[in-house]
Amino acid sequence: MELSKIGERKIVEMITKKFGIPMDDCALIDFDEQYLIITTDMVYEKTHFPEGAKPYQKGWYAIAVNLSDIASKGGIPMVFDVAIGMPREYKISSLKELINGMEDCMKEYGGNLIGGDTKETDFLTMAVTAIGKVPKDEFMPRKGIKIGNAVYVTGNLGKEASLYKNDFDKLLLVKPRIREGRFLARTKYVTSCMDLSDGLASSLYQLSKINNVGFRIYEDMLPLSEEALKMKKPVQFALYHGGDFELLFTLPEEKGKIIEKRIDAHKIGYVIKDKKILLIKNGKKMRIENKGYEHFKS
Amino acid sequence: MELSKIGERKIVEMITKKFGIPMDDCALIDFDEQYLIITTDMVYEKTHFPEGAKPYQKGWYAIAVNLSDIASKGGIPMVFDVAIGMPREYKISSLKELINGMEDCMKEYGGNLIGGDTKETDFLTMAVTAIGKVPKDEFMPRKGIKIGNAVYVTGNLGKEASLYKNDFDKLLLVKPRIREGRFLARTKYVTSCMDLSDGLASSLYQLSKINNVGFRIYEDMLPLSEEALKMKKPVQFALYHGGDFELLFTLPEEKGKIIEKRIDAHKIGYVIKDKKILLIKNGKKMRIENKGYEHFKS
């Protein structure tokens, strides 16, 4: 049977079960009072970048998506190890731009390049490993949600709509929420956190499965990006498209006001006992579907 | 200008210079009495594996080559983060075999899988990050050679010759020298160490450049593998072919006898002041050329 029959999330489930790995944005190594948090994201020319994207944007993106995982655990970025596969016809000037994009993203959000690998491949392939740290009592896991918690997202949703306007800076110069993640971690209010790389719907389903809870999300509370608002169905972009790299998190409702004053975060709903994931639209309940971007599936 | 004009080692030099990264097998993070040692190797279907290689062998290989880097620094393997790119037509059964190969190599030599990523790519691509640790006073760097030191290699050389006999187990089920690396590190005799992934000649040139020394290597002291000995020019395989993953190290000559009793290691020559890399053959001096496997170059 081929991978396309099961899709990325089943593949990951198969591997994580075999090795007893908890499903979270980052892996952990225990170091005294701290966790080292480690994440690897592979980025591939043909599936991640639209035609016309610039090397600088690609380099920035490869670093930023890893930082987004570090941010979702409340982490402080430390170091990067970067493996780059490129065709032999790739231009040296393009590689330099790619590296500049990586460097600028690190300068903006933290961490240093300490090593890596370069190999010859048919298409540009970047595998970035980011290592960060977080005091153990500030670590924000995916699992820990309480019924009745408020559900929040940082920033706004549906930014992938910019793809259709050919605005690749908006699409690829992702702003990882390191500052917001650190702030949330220090409050110790957060009961779960993950980043939105696969889209809001998919992320809610993942949190639902791990925490054995459901969600009631209010359509009119969704912070829609200006890019999404230019489209016919902005809410579809907010729910079912990847590329937002915002933080999705839960916390006791009464703490919400405190964090809203300090970071750009919006309440979008509540945690419910019933394992359904509902969208409330004009007072009517609808099911949010379990779909979003998934590799290996059409 | 295209990458093929400059080749892998120039590319790596360009990147490491920009970021001020020391040229070594692993990157370091300082942790109290220990270094965390980190390495990433990318392995690509078309450039790393002969046709007919099995998924189990490929999985083992991807882990083993990273362990070889950890071994060369005297490290104890801790964890792995693995990114796997695969085509959507890849068979689930093949992925399972691949993972079994990875798992068996970890069981044999240490370390656990703690995380990773799976993505859709046109050809199998594995980027493995291995993290190990080593007490600071046992770390074996590339730089530190003294004139007059003896030069050693573990095991034997020219194993890539097995490629021409279609013996893929010998070629791909690489045995990383973790035990030997740990033993050498504990002695604190070693003045430099690296692994032989690109071939002996290329590795000697890299050590020469970093340490500003030369080498006198004796042809009749080279431990040739039985695979190489079956070929017409076994010494060529020992010098200029990759795939050995043995440790190349230097130490004061008088300490050699001690380590020879405990691990399978062979003296092959001496460190000289003159920056030449010479092969002594029947009492005659010849230059060893600076060539070996290099990505991006024909």
* pLDDT < 70: residue spans in chain B: 294, 298
Longest Cα separation, chain A: 58
Interface size between A and B, measured as CB pairs under 8 A: 214
- Asked if A5's CB is within 8 angstroms of B296's CB, the reply is no
Asked whether the beta carbons of residue B115 and residue A38 sit closer than 8 angstroms, the reply is: yes
Q: Are strands A192-195 and A247-251 parallel, antiparallel or unpaired?
A: antiparallel
Q: Which of B3, B63, B97 to mutate to test the interface with A (most CBs of A within 10 A)?
A: B3
Report the candidate in B221, B224, B228, B215 with the shortest Cα–Cα distance to residue B286: B215
The answer to whether the Cβ–Cβ distance between A5 and B127 falls below 8 Å is no
Q: Indicate the residue type of B163.
A: L
Res B298: pLDDT: 58
pLDDT, residue B22, reads 87
| Nearest Cα to Cα of residue A176 among A292, A35, A97, A60 | A60
- Angle, vertex CA A42, rays to CA A240 and CA B69, nearest 5: 160
Closest among B138, B116, B143, B147 to B129, alpha carbons compared: B116
pLDDT by 10-residue block (mean), chain A, 298 residues: 89 91 90 93 93 96 98 98 95 96 98 93 96 97 97 95 83 96 98 94 95 98 94 93 94 97 97 97 94 71
Query: CA nearest B117 in A: which residue?
Result: A41
Residues of B in contact with A87 (CB under 8 A): 3
What residues of chain A lie within 8 A of the CB of B95, using their CB? 3, 11, 14
CB contact under 8 A, A44 and B296: no
Helix (H) or strand (E) holding B168: helix B168-172
Scored b (16 or more CB within 10 A) or e, B99-137 reads: bebbbebbeebbbebbbbbbbbbbbbbbbbbbbbbbeee
Of all residues in chain A, the one with the smallest CA distance to B126 is A127
Comparing alpha-carbon positions, the chain A residue that sits nearest to B24 is A115
* ipTM attached to this prediction: 0.91
CB atoms within 10 A of CB B52: 8
Buried/exposed B160-176: b ≥16 CB within 10 Å, e otherwise:
bbbbeeeebebbbbbbb
Q: Which residue of A has its CA nearest to B40?
A: A116
- Give chain B's domains with CATH numbers: 3-137 (3.30.1330.10), 140-287 (3.90.650.10)
Model confidence, pTM? 0.93
Integer Rg of chain B from CA: 19
Two tokens, residue B154: 């573990």
Paired sense of beta strands B34-44 and B27-31, if any: antiparallel
Beta B76-86 vs B125-135: how paired, if at all? antiparallel
Using the beta-carbon criterion (under 8 Å), do B119 and A47 form an inter-chain contact? yes
The three-class DSSP label of residue A122 is coil
What digits encode the pLDDT tens for the residues B45-99?
998 999 999 999 999 999 999 999 999 999 999 999 999 999 999 999 999 999 9
pLDDT at B9: 82
Strand partners, A192: A250
Using a CB-CB distance cutoff of 8 angstroms, which residues of chain A are in contact with residue B297? 88
User: Do A3 and B95 make contact, defined as CB atoms within 8 angstroms?
Assistant: yes
Contacts of B8 in chain A (CB under 8 A): 118-120
Closest Cβ–Cβ partner in B36, B92, B123 for A1: B92
Instruction: Check residue B126 and give its pLDDT.
Output: 97
Helix axes A178-187, A55-72, angle to 10 degrees: 0
- Contact: A19, B113; criterion CB under 8 Å: yes
Structure-token pair, residue A135? 């005091």
Query: Taking CB atoms and an 8 Å limit, are B8 and A118 in contact across chains?
Result: yes
User: Is the Cα dihedral A199, A205, A209, A210 positive or negative?
Assistant: positive
CB contacts, 8 Å: B66 with chain A: none
Optimal mutation site among A80, A119, A131, interface B, most CBs of chain B within 10 A: A119
SS3 content of chain A, % helix, strand, coil (to 5): 40, 30, 30
d(CA A191, CA A188): 8
Residue A73 near residue A133 (C-beta atoms within 8 A): no
For β-strands A76-86 and B34-44, DSSP reports them as: unpaired
Q: Which H or E run contains A216?
A: strand A214-218
Inter-residue contact B40 to B66 (CB < 8 Å)? yes
Give the gap in angstroms from C-alpha A90 to the nearest C-alpha of chain B.
5
User: Is residue A44 a contact partner of residue A85, using CB atoms and an 8 Å limit?
Assistant: no
Helix, strand, coil abundance in chain B, percent, nearest 5: 40, 30, 30
